[in-house]
Structure 1
């Protein structure tokens, strides 16, 4: 079963991805695939240079990701142009990894699965949510200034839209142990679905709270 894992900035989806991996899932992070594409000589680096010029590359030919992020989060058109180039490359690489993976649950962690409609390519969707102000504080604690954190949050689809699309909603506003308990419950439900051959993405069946 292919499972999409999503959530907005600083929601904790990467932590959930790690916990799902610890629970035996095969987890691939879209950010890691993008980082590979942005290496010197990578297809992603070539696309960025073609779209935005060589000033978006470092001296070694890799993408200056922070510089690029400031541009695309301030310009919706630039962001859409970038996504149109990069998302197909990421999807192709994930398909290759998924084809080689073993185990019942193959998880793809990506922020924009609902924004782009890509969640429809998965058998189930899990979203990780938290109060927006808590997410801003987390993002600032990670090094973003507050204005940039709020801009990134505003540029992403709403928690309501992600929740409406998801089969499983995990709220990440408590302790790590509480989060782990909820993740294990979701994984158990997904494993049952996989064993039963269920992949209809019936909404409202997940863990909320």
Structure 2
């Protein structure tokens, strides 16, 4: 009997939307989760080919003498120049895409989730079968980020939000929307999507 390939489902949402919390609920249901942003950081610190390309584009200072990623230096270079943002994305996102494909082939589940903040912005959503967007009011998102990361002020958070696709646009592009405000329960919304994706997978794969 041939192994059925799992459906590839993306889960995204702007900063402070709560996509990681939602992903954890899916994880409790037994669904494998690929945390793209965490893997990107790991690859930037461990993938020798990617490390070499980062050094070639941003200088040897991108890494410390101990070989660790110089996050402060790189962040200053990238966020101060839109062209540098484009360059780092062009280096990191293909590496993450290849890493995800390799990971996905080893999973045994009706569907798997790829959690990433910039699925639509990078175009990586095109390699996925369905997209879930976690949506929340802007003021609530800002207050959540400030509560979990007191070092960031509202100006810094808004600068990150400005680089992300507006929630309304993401909702139009997404196949499923989870509303993570303060007046809707998360678990029933997740369960409804979980049932839809599980049964859809059975139908698609016979």
TM-score range, shorter chain: 0.7 to 0.9
- Note if 1:148 corresponds to 2:161: no
Deviation per residue, 1:53-99 (Å, 9 max, x gap): 23332342222335433442342221111000100000000000001
Of 135, 144, 160, the match for 2:141:
135
Report matched runs for 1:29-48 at 5 Å.
29-39=35-45, 42-48=48-54
Change in 2 beyond 3 A, CA 1:11/1:64: farther
Q: 1:125: Cα distance to partner?
A: 0.4
Pair member with larger Rg:
2
Corresponding position of 1:178: 185
Of 5, 10, 33, the match for 1:4:
10
Q: Gaps spanning 5+ residues in structure 1: where?
A: 199-209
Higher relative CO (CA 8 A, sep ≥ 6), structure 1 or 2? 2
- Tell me the secondary structure at the aligned position of residue 100 of structure 1: coil
Corresponding position of 1:206: none
TM-score, normalisation: structure 2: 0.87
Q: Gaps spanning 5+ residues in structure 2: where?
A: 1-6
Q: Which deviates further from its counterpart, 42-51 or 128-137?
A: 42-51
Q: What is the aligned-residue RMSD (CA, Å)? A: 2.0
- Tell me the secondary structure at the aligned position of residue 133 of structure 2: strand
Of 127, 150, 157, the match for 2:165:
157
Change in 2 beyond 3 A, CA 1:192/1:41: closer
- Note if 1:189 corresponds to 2:196: yes
Q: How many residues align?
A: 197
